[in-house]
Amino acid sequence: MDIAQTLVAIGVLLLLGMLADEIGHKTRLPRVTLLILCGLAAGPSFLDLLPDSLTELYETLSVLALSMVAFLLGGKLSKVNLANSGGTVAVISVSAVVVTAVTVFTGLFLLGFPIALALVLAALATATDPAATNDVIRQYRARGPFTSILSGIVALDDVWGILVFALCLMGAQALMGADGSSALIQALRDVTGSILLGVVVGAPAGYLSGRIRPGDPTLAEALGIVFLTAGLALWLDLSFLLAGIACGAMVVNTGRHHTRPFHEIEHIEWPFMIFFFVLAGASLEVDMLPELGLLGSAYILLRIAGRLIGGWLGGKVAQRPVSASLASRSYLFGLSLLPQAGVALGMALVAAEALPLYRSEILTVAIGSTIVFELLGPAATQQALQKSGETGKESADASQN
């Protein structure tokens, strides 16, 4: 009976994904938000329609979906793209992370919250949800300089975020009387180890893949590369997201004879993303929202302000505006980086264990704000892409004029 229920649920979710995609195209609503809302309605917080046998697969399906997202993001870091906009990507990504952290910390400190707690929440604010941002880009067929830079920023964002989190957690532990140096050492291990793993798998994979023939063999190769990287990263207790990005970057730069692995992944990614977003919505705990209070509300508003200011400042400092019209609207980069999900929750769990005194506050803010940003973030990204003039519909319109 469990198998029957699971298969029925899988079939319904796939059809639901098709419906969300169609509604999204007709209403200009991000399909990510629609799927999360569907999951929220079907989850334990409301109707509780999903069988346990399916919800128990959430962690596995999340890894499968996000590992493909990471690989595709790494594919955006080709030498050509880096040569054209690598400096801009680095400057804006660093600016968005640092300014967000400083803004959240300063605001919470001025409101009278403990310094250690403000440090940890400032670090959580730097994390983004690459899956949501990447899917909005794909849904609206966005192409152009802004989209290219945004993809690069999303790929690098979590690297800086992990390092900032380590520094902030180290400072918070020092204030609480504990030795925080281990947090920095662990972060350096995670970043360097994950990137090294991606390079080790990606370098030979880039050269060897696609040499049989297109079609099923290339699809098998592409999935094998992606899942092997993710599995090894989890086995070695590394970041499978960073490893996947590094692997994708190596494949796109060493496999110059073709780009088929990325196209093959793009062709089958959407069904996995349906499961991921619906089950992510089902896992959201809505009862956390009323508990946010002043701390959670301040965190949400300060994170939004930090993202907008950081994106704007990064665009100005880069001194390489991608277009004359975009030069005055570099805040769009920050607007497109609002989605927040798994990485922030992972950081929150680590911080809650390291600072048990503030466990309740950290987890409440992390979970509650994730609900807000996962529902509002994709819409903000979609608005940024529209204002940049690079969505598929607008690009088509522009080509006709």
Coil, helix or strand at residue 179: coil
The alpha carbon of 390 is separated from its chain's Cα centroid by a whole number of angstroms, namely 20
Instruction: Judge whether 50 lies within some domain.
Output: no
Choose from 117-121, 204-208, 386-390 the range with maximum mean pLDDT: 117-121
Mean per-residue pLDDT over the chain, rounded? 82
Higher pLDDT, 351 or 302: 302
pLDDT digits (tens, 9 = 90+) for 381-393: 999 888 888 887 4
Record the pTM.
Answer: 0.81
Instruction: Judge whether 237 lies within some domain.
Output: yes
Question: Residue 300: is its pLDDT beyond 80?
Answer: yes
Q: How does DSSP assign 269-295, residue by residue? A: HHHHHHHHHHHHHHH--GGGGGG-HHH
Instruction: Judge whether 158 lies within some domain.
Output: yes
Q: What is the pLDDT of residue 220?
A: 80
Look-up: residue for tokens 């970043």?
Answer: 191
Instruction: Judge whether 8 lies within some domain.
Output: no
Choose from 48-52, 182-186, 206-210 the range with maximum mean pLDDT: 48-52
Q: What is the mean pLDDT of residues 292-314?
A: 91
Query: What is the percent of the chain with per-residue pLDDT over 70, rounded to a whole number?
Result: 88
Q: What is the mean pLDDT of residues 25-39?
A: 82
Q: What is the pLDDT of residue 257?
A: 52
CA distance 290 to 30: 26
Question: Residue 213: is its pLDDT beyond 50?
Answer: yes
The answer to whether the beta carbons of residues 256 and 205 sit under 8 Å apart is no
Residue 303: pLDDT band with limits 50, 70, 90 = very high
The answer to whether the beta carbons of residues 194 and 246 sit under 8 Å apart is yes
Q: What is the pLDDT of residue 401?
A: 35
Q: What is the pLDDT of residue 400?
A: 36
Residues contacting 311, CB < 8 A, separation 6+: 92, 95, 96, 330, 331, 332, 333, 334, 335, 336, 337
Instruction: Judge whether 318 lies within some domain.
Output: yes
Q: What is the pLDDT of residue 102?
A: 95
Q: What is the pLDDT of residue 119?
A: 93
Q: What is the pLDDT of residue 397?
A: 39
Residue 52: pLDDT band with limits 50, 70, 90 = confident
Instruction: Judge whether 198 lies within some domain.
Output: yes
Residues contacting 375, CB < 8 A, separation 6+: 33, 36, 37
Q: How does DSSP assign 89-125, residue by residue? A: HHHHHHHHHHHHHHHHHHHHHHTT--HHHHHHHHHHT
Residue 260: pLDDT band with limits 50, 70, 90 = low
Question: Residue 288: is its pLDDT beyond 60?
Answer: yes
Q: What is the pLDDT of residue 193?
A: 92
Q: What is the pLDDT of residue 323?
A: 52
Residue 109: pLDDT band with limits 50, 70, 90 = very high
Instruction: Judge whether 18 lies within some domain.
Output: no
Q: What is the mean pLDDT of residues 172-200?
A: 82
Instruction: Judge whether 321 lies within some domain.
Output: yes
Choose from 104-113, 166-175, 254-263, 371-380 the range with maximum mean pLDDT: 104-113
Task: State the CATH number of the domain containing residue 82.
Answer: 1.20.1530.20
Neighbours of 26 (CB within 10 A): 8
Choose from 120-129, 141-150, 214-223, 282-291 the range with maximum mean pLDDT: 120-129
Q: What is the pLDDT of residue 398?
A: 37
Rg, Å, the chain Cα set = 20
62-65-67 Cα angle (round to 5)? 100
Q: What is the pLDDT of residue 212?
A: 55
Q: What is the pLDDT of residue 9?
A: 85
Residue 37: pLDDT band with limits 50, 70, 90 = confident
Tally of domains within the chain: 1
Q: What is the mean pLDDT of residues 33-42?
A: 85
Give residue 150's domain range.
61-400
78-92, 209-223, 270-284: least confidently modelled range: 209-223
First to last CA, the chain: 58
Q: What is the mean pLDDT of residues 220-232?
A: 90
Residues contacting 222, CB < 8 A, separation 6+: 209, 260, 261, 262, 264, 265
